[in-house]
Amino acid sequence: MMQSLLSCGIRLAEALRAENEALAAMDLAQAATMTDAKMAATDAFAAAWNSARHAGPQAASTPAQAAAAALADRLAHLSAENRRLLEHAIALQARVIETIAGAAMPRGAPPTYGQSGARATMRATSPVALSSRV
């Protein structure tokens, strides 16, 4: 049980490390392609964790306990970094979208003021058709 949990944890750590590298390089397309691998590693780790938990406590060797503790620390660090990088990427994407949306908004004529000092209302121009014979 412990070996299965450790191997699934190592697989998850590798998936997180790879995604973190892509996010740190702001290669969002590459990071997006890693989603399926990260989710599969997460599901496998959760299943191995549940199996180990349901099997009950087992006498584990000191090297296995040390490896599990080191892996838990590594996963905690990688997960925290992954969250930070994802939040940064999401915030950056939101700013890009806001910039594009702001640039795409139609801009009217600059506001003018009427005789009363209030802003003049924009008038809609009626459609006009021209016809001529030569």
pLDDT bin (cut points 50, 70, 90) of residue 65 is: confident
User: What is the distance between the terminal CA atoms of the chain, rounded to a whole angstrom?
Assistant: 94
Per-residue model confidence as pLDDT tens digits over 86-134: 999 999 999 998 888 877 776 665 566 667 777 766 666 677 666 666 6
Q: Residue 12: is it exposed, middle or buried by C-beta count within 10 angstroms (0-12/13-18/19+)?
A: buried
Per-residue model confidence as pLDDT tens digits over 5-64: 899 999 999 999 999 999 999 999 999 999 999 999 999 999 998 888 887 666 556 787
The phi and psi torsions of 16 (rounded to 5 degrees) equal -65, -45
Q: Where are the domains of the chain?
A: 2-104
Whether 77 contacts 85, CB under 8 Å: no
Whether 5 contacts 48, CB under 8 Å: yes
For residue 132, the model assigns a pLDDT of 65
Alpha-carbon distance of 37 to 30, in angstroms, equals 12
- Count CA within 13 A, CB hemisphere, residue 33: 6
